[in-house]
Structure formats: structure tokens, C-alpha cells
Structure 1
Amino acid sequence: MAKQVQLDLPIVLPTVPDAEDACVDRLTSSLHEQDGVSTAHVSTATNGAPDRLCIHYDPDAISLPQIRRRARSLGTELTDQYGHLSWTVDGISHPRRARTLARRLRQIEGVVEAGASAAEQIRVEYDRSSTSEDEICAALRSMNVRPRGDRLEAQGLAEEAGNGQREAGHDHDHGGIFGEKTELIFALTAGVCVALGVGLSFANGVPGWIPWGLYIGAYAFSGYYTVREAVDTLRAGEFEVDFLMIVAAGGAAVLGKWLEGAFLLFLFSLGHSLEHYAMRRARRAIESLADLAPDTALVRRNETEQEVSVDDLTVGDVVIVKPNERVPADGVVLKGESAVNQAPVTGESVPVDKTPVEAPPAVQDLATLDAAHRVYAGTINGSGVLEVRVTKRADETTISRVVQLVTEAEAEKSPTERFTDRFERVFVPAVLGLVGLLLFAWVPLDEPFADSFYRAMAVLVAASPCALAIATPSAVLSALARAGQGGVLVKGGGPLEHLGRLGAVAFDKTGTLTTGKPRVTDVRPCPGVREETLLRTAVAAEQLSDHPLAEAVVQYGEDHLGARPPEDATEMEGITGRGVRAFVGGVPVHVGKQALFDEIGGPPPPDTLREEAEALEADGRTTMIVRRGGTYLGVMGLADTPRPEATNVVGRLRRTGIRRMVVLSGDNQRVVDAVAEQLGLDEARGDLLPTDKVDAVRTLRQNEDVAMVGDGVNDAPAMANATVGIAMGAAGSDAALETADVALMADDLSQLPFAVGLSRQTRRVITQNLWIALGMVAVLVPATIAGLPIGPAVVLHEGSTLLVVGNALRLLRYDS
């Protein structure tokens, strides 16, 4: 049974009177349904202490950051009692090394979770009352791992911690005396020693100790990193492949077969160094995102223009972006017009026209600003000159957030990776047991002990799961890099694999399948009521609301009422999923769908008005009935047109293997039906409140894996309850980046088939790699038992490892 971790976390529940509130039930039930969480409940504290959220979970299946995201998506903030460190480091070159470091870190008292990846990322969750960042950093140094000076800070790290980090970052060794090429140079040097030793062994008059000395040199150069890894593994209390190779090479030396032992270590170290090169190539594809933003910016200060470092830009600065230059910071356009290439950040293939904003909004209103007025760091300006007001510091821009989240995601293990880790923990000791038995094969076979010993060492080489260890991480890292290049942020191997297993996709309607900009198409007053009266009353009530439908009504009123402004309204109240109520001239006014008037007091709508509304709804309109006091004034029809790319996206998703597609909306059922029919969706569910969407997603999930596609804010609860939550238009939206498992950076639905297709291809590559890795072991073990020498076994063994790495790197070139 997997080891369970129990956390008792003080929690803050905004606007919640006590732990019995319904939102607490939603929180705990949502957490309980997450894979890896066995129990989640709130314990009511006494003596004025805060209530505590108690979670029992398997850290191999779900991480604390994922739990934190789920809780935040439901409006809950976890305490800062538990610190979160996310570091870019030097000194991790392989997944096996990463696993060893993670185990060592988990042995530190107070460390709740620790993850490491061959992408040179360290993630640590720790109890601040039991340990500190300095102690964790010291432990890393003892393992020859150095945090870099440009550490990506995560949730709630103190400034003084960052200062200590920068100091620690100055003394890293970049992997050795030749930097990151040290291991490859050592491996090639060992190869030269082996080749010279073999050549000199056939030369006349050369003393025998010279080839032997060269083989010793090969042992030293090729065994340096292998021994270091083996020692770290043993200190963590486990066996890894490096240890098996050291034992095999040592065994060959004991038998006097120095050439075979040197050849074994040479090929093993060469294979390792080439694997590391491949992993660095995938990693650099991600790191290249961080290089998109320029180093300097032309800023106007004190009526003069000066060039400054982007790190020195502050919110409110005005930067000047000349033609064909990269935008230095996130901001809003104050002056100038141009077409900006946003592909580096959002993946959009067509440049986006940018125009000045009439009045720069407050920081808290930036999320509602039209995309035509916003620019992002790292995007490329077209032919015009833009003046941009900076809205985010360099370390808070969209591109920096993407790089941070992707690099953190690299430390999150996928389900397959966790399976192979568990398999190796059983397999390696089993191999050692088999080798131990083979050491006594001379008894029944009546052969020299040296022959049995040699056979055992050959089996040790053949059974080493090198290819298995690299099969999944290399594919996941390559896929994450490719997704980032395509404007899709995937938060780790887990969401990546889940995305590839989807059987159903649930879409929010407004803003996801449709443009999200409804417009008034019909104004139908009741008999005896003037159209102007109906419109003025509706606009008066809706002008206090920020709902998209209300904005459409107000815009229509501005276009058609002219100089006759609506009356002033007071005490506007939104009725969730139904409409609004306000007082106009002291008289209550209700504007909303028919269901609103079935729930409130007063006379019901006349039959003629109901028939009018139903006819509009049958045509795919969203209807808004208007009643002032007890008098019905009429009905208005609004339409939100489907996105131009939506129909094509549905077809592409079906071709990738998605069997069922559903639209979930709070809009009228007939309107939702019309959209579903137009786009070719399988099912339409309308008139849903946010809690109804959660229930619908949970029902879908009972039968198959389901993704919920929304805007990352309003649909956050439903996204949190789906197998995979997918947010659209995440560029510039911290909320969407935080809540979603997968974020489509552009407000473009066509990125979804690319993400699903990449995930499915990744699963195929992982499956192929596992078959190659396990198949080679299945072939080589019997072959070596039957007498296959160590030399050919090493060649085939290392060849399979390089094959799976090369197969994984194909994902960097994936194109849907």
C-alpha cells in the first residue's frame, strides 16, 4: 500500500461563518475525489484557534501544490505554515540522480514532499516549524547540487530567502571542470584509453602493464560519475542502475577481464552523457521561452528617453517599442497602432492588431480589457511605433509566469513515471537476487566458479533498467517543451497523460464555444408599450451590472436611445443564473429569463409574452423579460455567435479519438441546444448554476475521463472536478494560469486539438519506449544466462537506451 501523508493545515475560509458551511463541504468533497487523496475533512478547532483542513494523501499520486490549486479554485487559502521551494539547480543530470536527491531530501526532518527532475528542477514542501530553507540548501550542497542564482520563486517565499539564494548561486560548478561537457569529455577519454589499450595489446614489445594501465584509466574516467551516483543512491538506502554497473565492472576486474569492464563503463558513461545531452536539448526548448523578452527597454522618464534594464522597469513606466522589436514588458497601449506577433507567447499564427486604449484602466480591471489594447513581454512588434504603459514587473509578466509554471511542472511525475519508479524499486533487488543465485550456478552445472561469476555479471548488465528509467521522463519533458512552444501550458506529466486518455470534453458555452460578446437582436414590447420605454427601463436596471448580457443591453441602448439617457437605478441585485432586480424611480424592476418570474412574487408573464419569448429561444436567442412593478413591458432577444473555428475544432477532436462532447451553460436550454446542433456536439445542458456544472462534470467522470474547458475563473469549480481542467485565453490572466491543469494561452479554441493530439502522441511514445526497454531486458537476460558475453550485452543495452531517448525527442517536432 502506498505511503500516506497526513497534513493538518490551518485554513482561511473567506466569508464563511463556520466549518459547517456548504462551501466547506464542496472543498472537502472536491479534494476527496482527487486521485491520491484518501480523506479530506475539516476539524473544528477550539479556544479561538482556526479550523484545520485535514488531508490524507499519497504524495506519489498528488502533490501539495496540486492540493493548493484545488483549494484556491474553490476560494480557500491555505496558510503559510508550509513553505514551498522551487529551484533551478546545477548537478542533476539524469532521472535516476533526480530520484536519489528527492529521497535524500525527504529524509530531512520537516520535509513533507520533495521532487526533483532531470530538467534540473527541485521542488520541496516543508514545515517551517521543523526546518528552514537554509537547512534544505545546505543538504543540497552536501549532495553536490547548487541552486542557481536565477531561482524561480514560487508561492509565498520571503525576500530574505531570495537573498540567501542569490548568494548560494555564485559558487555552483556547472557540472565539472569542463562545465556541462565534463561527463562527455570523461567518457570520450575513457574510450580513447580502451582503444589504445586494445591496440597496444597486439603490439610487439609493449609491456603488459601499459594496456592494463590504460584500462585502469578508462575505469577512472568513465566510472567517476557512475560511482558518485551509486554512492548517493546507497546513502539514500536504495539500489539503482549505477550501482549494478559498478558491481558488474568490479566483477569483471576481479576475473581479470579489465578490457570488458573498461568497455562496459565506457559505453555506460557514453550513453549517460548522450542521454544528458538529449535531456538538455529538451530543457533548452523550455528555457528558450525565458529568452524571448529583451534585456533592455527604451523608457520615457522626466520627458527624456533612456535605455534601462527590463529588471528596472516599474509599473506605470511608459516604454517605447519600435518596429520589429520585442515588447519588453506586459502593458497596455497608450499611443500608436501596429500588428503584434504574439506567437512566442500565445501560439497564435496571425499577428494581432493593437490600438490605443481610451483611458488606462486600474490594475484590478486589466483582466477585462480588450485584447486589442494589451501587449505581452516577448511578443514582436510590427511596422508601427507603440507607447506602452507597463502593468507588470519583469518577474511577473505572462512569459515569466509560463516559464515558472512549466519548470515547476517538470518536477511533477506522471502516472507512468510513478509506476516505473515503483517497478524499479522491486525489479532492481530482484535482479540482485537473481545474480546472487547465478553465482552458485557452478554447483549444479559443474563448471568453474569464474564462469558462473562472469555469467552473473553479464546478467547484471543485461537486466539493468537504464532505458526504463529514461523512457517516460524524456518523453514528458519533450512534450512539455513542445506544448510551451505551441502556446499551451501543461502543468506536469500527470495532466499531460490524462489529456491523452480523455473520452469526453465538456465546454462552457459563453466565451468558449462562442465569441462571448452577445448583442441585442430583438426588442419586442408588449401591446400598448413603446419600444423606447422597454429599452430605457432595461438599460436603467442593467447599467449597474457587469454581466456580459447586461453590457450588451447597455451598449444597444447607447446606440439607440441617443441623447435620451435612461433613468437612474438603485439597489441593483444580481440573482445568480436568473437575472437582476433594481429600483428605477423607486419602483422594482426585474430583468431576466422566464425562470426568474416563476420564482419571485407578482403576476406571471402573459401568455402572449411567453409565446414571444419561446419563439425567440427557438431561434437560438437568449431572452430577457422586463417587468416594472407588476407590469410586463416586453422581451429582448440576444445572440452570441459561435467562434469561427469551433466547428472545425469539434471535427478535429473527434479525429483524435474524443467520443463525447457536451456543452454546459447557464443559458437557456433552447439557446444551448441551438449552439450544440450548429457545432455538432453530442449533448447540450442549459439552465445550469455553477454548482450544477460541478454535478454534471462529476456525472460524466463516472463513465470516462473528462476535460472541462472554460475561462479559468467562473468555471473553476467545474474545472477542479474534471479529470483535466483547461482554461482558454490564459495570457495575462493569473487566475487562469493558477487554476487550470492545462492553459491555452491564446483566446483560440483551435489550440485544444493540438494539445490533445500532442498528449495522445506522447502516450504512444511512452508506450513504445516501455516496450523497447522491457523487451530488451526480456531478450538479453535469457541470452546472457545462455552465454552471451558482456560486450554484446553492453552494446545492445546502451543502444536501447539511446533509442528510447531519440524516440522521445521526436515530440519536439510534433505538428498536429
Structure 2
Amino acid sequence: MGPAKAEKHVHGPGCKHDHGHDHGHDHAHDHGHGEKHVHGPGCSHGHDHDHGHGHAHAHEHGPGCDHDHDHGHHHHPKPKRIRPPGHRPAEGGGVALQLDLEGALPGETDDVGRFQKLEAALEAHRGVTEVHLRRDAGHAEVCIHYKPEVVSASQLLTAAQRTGAEVAERYKNQTWFVRGMESGDAATTIETGLGKLKGVLSASVAYASERLVVEYDSEEITLKDVEAKAKALGYALEVPMQGHACSHHAHGGGLGPKLEMPLVVVSGVLLVAGWLLERFTQLPALVPTLVWALSMATGGFFAIRGSVKSLFQLRIDIETMMVVAALGAAVLGAWFEGAFLLFLFGAGHALEHRAMDRARRSIESLGALRPEVARVRRGGDVVEVPVGEVQRGERIVVRPGDRVALDGIIREGRSSLEQAAITGESIPVPKKPGDEVFSGTINCEGMLEVEVTRLSSESVLARVVDMVAEAEAQKGPNQRFAQRLERTVAPLVMIGALVFPVVLILLGTPVKEAILRAVALLVAASPCALAISTPSAVLSAVAAAARGGVLVKGGIYLELLAKVNAIAFDKTGTLTVGRPKLLTTAPAEGVSREELLGTAASVEALSAHPLAKAVVEAAAEGGIHAPAGSDLEAIHGKGIRAKVGDAQVDVGNLALFEGQPVPADISAQVDRLEEAGQTTMVVRKAGRYLGVLGMADTLRPGARHVVHTLKDSGIERTVMLSGDNARVAKSIAAQVGLDEARAPLMPADKVTAVREMGRKGSVAMVGDGVNDAPALAAAAVGVAMGGAGSDAALETADVVLMSDDLSRLPFALGLARQATAVMQQNLVISLGISGILIIAAVFGLTQISHAVVLHEGSTLLVVANGLRLLAIRPQAMKAAPEPTVSVKPVAG
């Protein structure tokens, strides 16, 4: 099946457009809607709007498409892009079909749980030899190996989609906030505890953003059972509200987080008191020992509680290792060391919590920009209403100086708004009736009346906060590596710590020393720093990006973006402003400018194409009267025909007149204008050629500067993909400084071009998210511009530049590279320090207290290193002054 076919999907009746959004989280509160809809082959949500001159048209859905229905509860599922099926050979040779994971199982992100059910169901199908998850194309795909002689690709596709629909219907996933997690180990306790429930396929906790995602069999278990089990483990679950990064109960981890610091302080005071008593008084040895025992109890209160929970689950984790080490030291009479160990462990944890809270709060502060009440016009009065109760279609009044309460469209009033909350741009943007406004932005000048278009839980701001809070669950390779390592290290170290002293004693070491060295080994080898090394970096980087007006949807995209060495740009709306202007009118001999422009405007007034609008505007500006045209016929990609009076008028590019003689002076004029980078239209009335019109799009100010900055930062190839004609594309590419231009391309060709570039390295595609959805989906990283105004951009891209400003691209790239570097530094720090300590412990070169200080120190160092990313701000890019009009006007 060729790529061209894949993109042409039109939604059939009843398309609901709200199947499993989910970035690792699915908020379907078991209403069962949203999962039923499976798209036909290759639905790529960007439906080919094929735009003859490289302009996007409004996209029309099939009958019954219900873009925005209100479910009557607060969550609003977001459609997520679905990539066309692939047909690459299987890794070990043989034939294989690849389906986008999001299309096959909405909301699934990994190969456990629901995926395993799909795998089992597909493998039972005749002719299928193996099913697995594949990520080599930069996104998750279900790879189905099959025997072509038994089953055809199209039969398999239908079967796979039916199976996927059945699996998605029965096996669901749900996200909760978890309250009461004191440490990263609590995450494992919950995962293990819930994982044992019958009917739970997988449970995974993102500790940094306090979320739990459970995949479960809806026929065997209810959400209530899951909540009850979590409660039994000592953790409260709460269904998250849209747009809040933190739970309602302000980090209500019960008393946990509040008590942590005071207990550590008490433990420290007792530790010092015990040491002073032993040193400077003649009291019996029992007294300082009791003081140290108390110090251990307070400093290790949470660690002891956590380790008891994990031992009940027959599981060994970092906390257990620490508690065992401290108790081991105490039993041998080294009470001071034992107390010191738990004091430092507690202090490390308390500080790490503070740090992670800072990162979480910086995300929550994005959402705090929303007013809690809106001033709604009801009848003749203006009443204050909580934002959650305002309905779509109601009108809100925004006074100067107020923050806009809900997303909507201005119906009355003009003003300028400061949109830093959404786009990171602090310069106010002028707005007039008909323009969109977003909640959280500040009205600087006049009084506005705004018609509400989105409920408070669906506003752009709420979605940004959700996406940022959930980004940590989309784990990148570094994060997955750290997790796998941590899970294997803990049990191995524990076994080592039990075997090691036995070996030492057999070799003749005194028992006490052997056990103390084993305790030092336990401390040295516990992978604390490793556990927190990547989440702290991901959380900080994503929060810093969001503050700078860049939305990164997951840790995995940070890592992919950092590897990018080639960038493909869409032309219209990305490198150019996207609004063409008429620059040249070249009438044929004996034809006046008025006749040429007036005739063209009569016909073009019937069309909504951007090029048509430019002609109509130019005629109006020149005060040229255009008689009304009728009987419009659009010839796809070539131009239009219509009647003016009785005469037939054709307006379009030379392709429209193929096979008909075109006067030499007309075709020469076309060549001249296209050389100068203009898009041409030839006008013919009743068989007589009237002349040629030349239009051009204007370059975005700063585009050239951005391309140079990207090249300086090590991007090897920059390519423009355009639907416009090749000469125009080359002229603009040359002005911006791109390496090459490919044109004219249909959306399907853009996908092919991106895939082809992808063979040589990692490609990012930058587009305005309207007609570039398939190409954005095909690239390793899809970057959309102007996400604040475009739902399509928010849904399809992995990285969204909220403002319509290309200069955020180098910032996003730089941030991703720094974040990846920090993750790697953190892995090196945590593994390096552990390695050195393990060697020192094995050879008896270190005391417990030294091991503890270094071990906790490395954890704090790793967290602090991650938090550095919070401080990164976009540099104000001073673009070199550039001419606004991109072409040399041609005399005409």
C-alpha cells in the first residue's frame, strides 16, 4: 500500500474525534466512550487538505463528525495523531506489517499489560508468526510478522484493527494522583501491591509527577477495587482534575511530607546529644545508646515504615537496604554509625522532596495563572461565576488589567493582550473582534466581551499543564535504562551483602569487622541517586521549556530532539507569514490594468483560497470595480473557471491551459515572475489572454537568523518541503539560507521526503500543524508552531512552539541537548560514586559514616544538577533587520 493511499482518509459518519488521547495517561473515567472508534488504514488526523498553492484550507469532516461535544463531566479526551501503517521487512528477514500503537490500542505506551493481551490475540490469528513492539521509526509500532502465503496484508490489517478494538474495549487504563508517597520506593510498593490484584495487567507510578497509571481488565476488576487496595497499602488515590499538576489536597501526602523535615532535625539533635554525652560525661554507656536509638527511630521513621511494607511484599528495595544496614551496625554496637546513617538518609530524602516539589510547583504555577471566577453577562447583569460553571457560548466581560478567565472569541471591543502565560512572549499582541483569546492572558487596554468556546478544563492552559505534568511518564531511553538498572541492582546488592561477610569470616576476618564491612557495602551500593537521576532532569527541563513557551510532551522527545541533525521546514506559515500579497500586474498588449485585475477579482471573489483573497484585496485597494461572477468551478491544483456575464473566465497557473496555445509574451512573463520567486496566475477571458498576476508570500522576520543559529549549533541539513512551485520554493530557500528546497509536494510526498531524510539521521519536521500532520507524525520529532491557536498542532506534534515565533526553535533544541547531557552526567555521577564506594567497601577502605555521606551527597548532587535546568530561559534573539517583502518587484 503506497503512502499516497494512506493519507487520503476521510472520516466516516459518526466520527467522534476523541479517541484515547493520553500521553501515558488516560482519563477515561470508565465511561467507556472514546475507545470504540478505530480509524481505517492510516488515519493520520491531518487529512490531506491538499492545497494547490501550498495553503491550508479549512478541514471538513464527514457527516456526523462531532468535534467538540461536551461529555457533561470535566475531562475532555484529546485526539492523538495516528500514523499510517508501514510495511517494512521483519528484523530477522521475512514479511511484517507495522501498525501505529496509538491507532491499535489508544492510550498504550509500552509493551506490558494491554499490549500483551493484544499480542496474544493477534498471535492466535492464522498466518501470524510473531507480534512485538518496535520503536526503530522513532515511535511505537505493533510489528506483526506473518506468512504472506497464508494471509494477505489487507486481511491482516482488518483483523488487527478488529482485534485492537476488542482489546481496547475490554482492557482499559486509568490515571490517578497518588497521595502519601514519601520516596521513590513507595512507587515500587504500589506497583508491586496493585500488580498482584487479579485483573490488573500493569501498574506504573511516575514518582516525580505523583501519577499512577493502571491497565486493567474491566470484566474482572473495578476501579473501586484498585482504590481499596491502594488504601490498604496506605496510599490515597484521587482522580486528577484537568489542568492541575498537583492534587487538590496540596501535596497532601497525609502528614508525611510535613513531618519529614522536623523528624530529621530531631534525629540530628539527638545524634549530636548522644555523641556529647558519650564524649564529655561519665554516664553509663546505656544512656548515649538510648539517645542514638531514639535518633534512629526519628531519622529513619519513614524508611522503617517503607521497608516493613516492602518486606510484606517479599521485595527488597533501597529503604530496606538502609534499614538493614543501620540495624546491623546497631546490633554490633556501632549505634552512632547506625543513627548517623538513618539521619543522613532521612535528610537526603527530605531535601530531595523539597527539590522535586520545586519542579512540580513551577509546573503548577503555569496553571495558577487562571482566574478562579469569571464575570459573566447574564441578561442585563454581569455576575461573578466560578470558572468551572461557565458554559460554552456564554459571554464573559474582561476589564482592562484582568486576566482572561476562559478561552474564547472576542465579540466586542479591541485591546492588546499579554500572552506570556501561553506563548512565553511578553510583548502585548493587538486583538480585535473575531480573534481568539486564551485563559491566563492579561488584557492590557480596552474592555472586552468574549464568547466562551472552551470549558475551563479544556482550555489551552489546562492542556499545557496536563501535558507537562504527564511528560515524565513518556520515558526516554536514559530514563528506562536507569529504571531497569535500579530494579536489578537492589536485590543483587542485598544478596551480595549476605554472602560477602560469610566469605570474609571464612577468610579469617573477625565477625564484627566482616559485618560492618557488609553494612558499608549495603550503603555504598544502594542505587538511590540512580533512581532519581533522570526524573529530576526531565521534570525540570519540561517545566523550563513550558515557561519559555515550548511544550515538550515527554522525556523521550527531549532525548530524541537532542539527537536531531537534520530539520525539515514546511514553507507556508512556517518560514513565511502565510498571507500572500499581489506584487505584480502584467497586462497583455492592449489590455488595461483595471480590466486585468477587475476580471480576475470577479472570479476570485467566489473562492476562499488565500491567493484569491490577495487578488480581491488588491482590486479593492485600487478602487477597481469587479462585476459579480457566477458558476464557479475549481480545477484542483491548477486554478478556477467561472462566468462573468456570458463570458467564460479562466484564472490559474500554466497547467490550467495545457494543450492550448499560450502567447509567447504571456509565457515569457510567467517565467520572469517565477524566476523572481512569485506565484503566477494567468487570466483569460472568452479565449483572449488578458495578462499575468504575480503574488508572493512574505518571509517571517527572523527566519534567516534562526536558520543560521541552527547551523551554528550543529544542524547538518536544513530542507524546505513546500506545496508551492519549485522556483518560488528555491527563491525563498535561498533567501533564508536553507540547504535545499523540495517542491511541489503533496502531503503524502512530504511524508516520503521526511522518511527518506530519516534514513541518514534523526529528523525534526517543523510545520504549522494544519496541513503538516502526516509529515509531523513521520519525523522522529514533530515540532508545531503557533500551538496556542491550533488544536491540530497541540495534538499532532511532540514539541509545540506555543507562539508563532521560529526563534523558540533553537531554544528548544538547546534545552533538549542540555537536558540529555544532564541525564547522562547524572547516570555517570550516580554509577561512578556507587562504583567507587563499592570497591572501597569490599576492600575495607571506608567506614560506614563516610559511605553514607558520599552516598547521600551523590543523591543530592544529582537532584541539584537536574534542577539547574529550571533556570534556563530563552535568550531574546535580536534578528538582523530584514526586508519584509521577500521578492524584488518586477516592473509591470
Which category of TM-score, normalised to the shorter sequence, fits these structures? 0.7 to 0.9
Mapped to 2, the partners of 1:347 and 1:78 lie a distance apart of 40
Call closer, same or farther: CA 1:85–1:42 in 2, change over 3 Å: closer
Mapped to 1, the partners of 2:615 and 2:90 lie a distance apart of 41
Deviation at 1:537, TM superposition (A): 5.0
Call closer, same or farther: CA 1:568–1:130 in 2, change over 3 Å: farther
Deviation at 1:418, TM superposition (A): 0.2
1:139 partnered with 2:205: no
Deviation at 1:63, TM superposition (A): 12
Alignment of 1:603-618 (within 5 A): 603=660, 605-618=662-675
1:340 partnered with 2:417: yes
Instruction: Please list the CA deviations of residues 705-739 of structure 1 after superposition, one character each: whole Å capped at 9, or x if unmatched.
Output: 11111112310110101111111111132221111
Deviation at 1:112, TM superposition (A): 5.6
Contact 1:98 1:118 in 2 (8 A): no
Where 2:442 maps in the other structure, the secondary structure is coil
Q: Which residue of 1 aligns with 2:483?
A: 421
Q: Which residue of 2 aligns with 1:515?
A: 577
Q: Which residue of 1 aligns with 2:440?
A: 378
| Higher mean displacement: 382-391 or 411-420 | 382-391
Mapped to 2, the partners of 1:432 and 1:780 lie a distance apart of 15
Q: Which residue of 1 aligns with 2:109?
A: none
Q: Which residue of 2 aligns with 1:121?
A: 211
Call closer, same or farther: CA 1:15–1:175 in 2, change over 3 Å: closer
Mapped to 2, the partners of 1:522 and 1:225 lie a distance apart of 76
Q: Which residue of 1 aligns with 2:853?
A: 795
Q: Which residue of 2 aligns with 1:778?
A: 835
Alignment of 1:48-63 (within 5 A): 56=131, 58=133
Deviation at 1:253, TM superposition (A): 2.6
Deviation at 1:107, TM superposition (A): 4.8
Instruction: Please list the CA deviations of residues 645-700 of structure 1 after superposition, one character each: whole Å capped at 9, or x if unmatched.
Output: 21121122223322221111111111111111111111111101101100111111
Mapped to 2, the partners of 1:717 and 1:129 lie a distance apart of 36
Instruction: Please list the CA deviations of residues 76-126 of structure 1 after superposition, one character each: whole Å capped at 9, or x if unmatched.
Output: 997862544333332234444335534554555253674423221223444
Q: Which residue of 1 aligns with 2:76?
A: none
| Higher mean displacement: 375-384 or 662-671 | 375-384
Q: Which residue of 2 aligns with 1:151?
A: 241
Counterpart amino acid of residue 287 in structure 1: E
Instruction: Please list the CA deviations of residues 8-34 of structure 1 after superposition, one character each: whole Å capped at 9, or x if unmatched.
Output: x975336999xxx99999621199999
Q: Which residue of 1 aligns with 2:38?
A: 12
Q: Which residue of 2 aligns with 1:161?
A: none
Q: Which residue of 2 aligns with 1:671?
A: 728
Mapped to 1, the partners of 2:609 and 2:313 lie a distance apart of 57
Counterpart amino acid of residue 832 in structure 2: G
Residue of 810, 813, 820 corresponding to 1:753: 810
Q: Which residue of 1 aligns with 2:175?
A: 86
Instruction: Please list the CA deviations of residues 392-421 of structure 1 after superposition, one character each: whole Å capped at 9, or x if unmatched.
Output: 221111111111111122222121000111
Counterpart amino acid of residue 138 in structure 1: A
Q: Which residue of 2 aligns with 1:309?
A: 386
Contact 1:39 1:57 in 2 (8 A): no
Mapped to 1, the partners of 2:721 and 2:178 lie a distance apart of 44
Q: Which residue of 1 aligns with 2:281?
A: 204
Call closer, same or farther: CA 1:779–1:533 in 2, change over 3 Å: same
Alignment of 1:533-572 (within 5 A): 534-536=596-598, 538-560=600-622, 562-570=624-632, 572=633
Deviation at 1:272, TM superposition (A): 0.8
Structure 1 gap segments, 5+ residues each: 1-8, 46-50, 155-165, 358-372
1:490 partnered with 2:552: yes
Where 1:793 maps in the other structure, the secondary structure is helix
Where 1:377 maps in the other structure, the secondary structure is coil
Mapped to 2, the partners of 1:617 and 1:229 lie a distance apart of 72
Q: Which residue of 1 aligns with 2:698?
A: 641
Call closer, same or farther: CA 1:637–1:93 in 2, change over 3 Å: farther
Call closer, same or farther: CA 1:410–1:16 in 2, change over 3 Å: closer
Counterpart amino acid of residue 182 in structure 1: L
Structure 2 gap segments, 5+ residues each: 1-34, 50-80, 105-117, 124-130, 143-156, 876-892
Deviation at 1:186, TM superposition (A): 2.3
Where 2:86 maps in the other structure, the secondary structure is helix
Counterpart amino acid of residue 617 in structure 2: Q
Residue of 245, 251, 254 corresponding to 1:176: 254
Contact 1:87 1:152 in 2 (8 A): no
Where 1:202 maps in the other structure, the secondary structure is helix
Call closer, same or farther: CA 1:220–1:811 in 2, change over 3 Å: same
Alignment of 1:336-735 (within 5 A): 336-357=413-434, 373-443=435-505, 445-527=507-589, 531-532=593-594, 534-536=596-598, 538-560=600-622, 562-570=624-632, 572-573=633-634, 575=636, 577-580=637-640, 591-595=651-655, 602-603=659-660, 605-626=662-683, 633-735=690-792
Contact 1:340 1:382 in 2 (8 A): yes
For normalisation by structure 2, the TM-score amounts to 0.77
Contact 2:375 2:396 in 1 (8 A): yes
Contact 1:535 1:557 in 2 (8 A): yes
Mapped to 1, the partners of 2:364 and 2:87 lie a distance apart of 34
Q: Which residue of 1 aligns with 2:62?
A: none
Q: Which residue of 2 aligns with 1:218?
A: 295
Mapped to 1, the partners of 2:314 and 2:604 lie a distance apart of 67
Counterpart amino acid of residue 797 in structure 2: A
Mapped to 1, the partners of 2:780 and 2:100 lie a distance apart of 24
| Higher mean displacement: 238-247 or 673-682 | 238-247
Where 2:569 maps in the other structure, the secondary structure is strand
Call closer, same or farther: CA 1:619–1:214 in 2, change over 3 Å: same
Q: Which residue of 2 aligns with 1:321?
A: 398
Percent identity of paired positions between Structure 1 and Structure 2: 44
Counterpart amino acid of residue 857 in structure 2: G
Instruction: Please list the CA deviations of residues 352-387 of structure 1 after superposition, one character each: whole Å capped at 9, or x if unmatched.
Output: 112234xxxxxxxxxxxxxxx222111112133222
Mapped to 2, the partners of 1:666 and 1:283 lie a distance apart of 43
Contact 2:601 2:626 in 1 (8 A): no
Deviation at 1:287, TM superposition (A): 0.5
Mapped to 1, the partners of 2:550 and 2:338 lie a distance apart of 46
Where 2:85 maps in the other structure, the secondary structure is helix
Contact 1:190 1:221 in 2 (8 A): yes
Call closer, same or farther: CA 1:414–1:153 in 2, change over 3 Å: same
Contact 1:88 1:147 in 2 (8 A): yes
Mapped to 2, the partners of 1:274 and 1:779 lie a distance apart of 24
Contact 2:575 2:699 in 1 (8 A): yes
Contact 1:117 1:411 in 2 (8 A): no
| Higher mean displacement: 782-791 or 651-660 | 651-660
Q: Which residue of 1 aligns with 2:872?
A: 814
Call closer, same or farther: CA 1:586–1:315 in 2, change over 3 Å: farther
Mapped to 2, the partners of 1:434 and 1:336 lie a distance apart of 73
Contact 1:86 1:152 in 2 (8 A): no
Call closer, same or farther: CA 1:459–1:15 in 2, change over 3 Å: closer
Deviation at 1:64, TM superposition (A): 11
Mapped to 2, the partners of 1:339 and 1:266 lie a distance apart of 55
Call closer, same or farther: CA 1:42–1:748 in 2, change over 3 Å: closer
Call closer, same or farther: CA 1:588–1:89 in 2, change over 3 Å: farther
Alignment of 1:70-81 (within 5 A): 81=169
Residue of 325, 332, 345 corresponding to 1:268: 345
Call closer, same or farther: CA 1:396–1:170 in 2, change over 3 Å: closer
Counterpart amino acid of residue 101 in structure 1: I
Call closer, same or farther: CA 1:744–1:78 in 2, change over 3 Å: farther
Greater helix content: 1
Call closer, same or farther: CA 1:78–1:327 in 2, change over 3 Å: farther
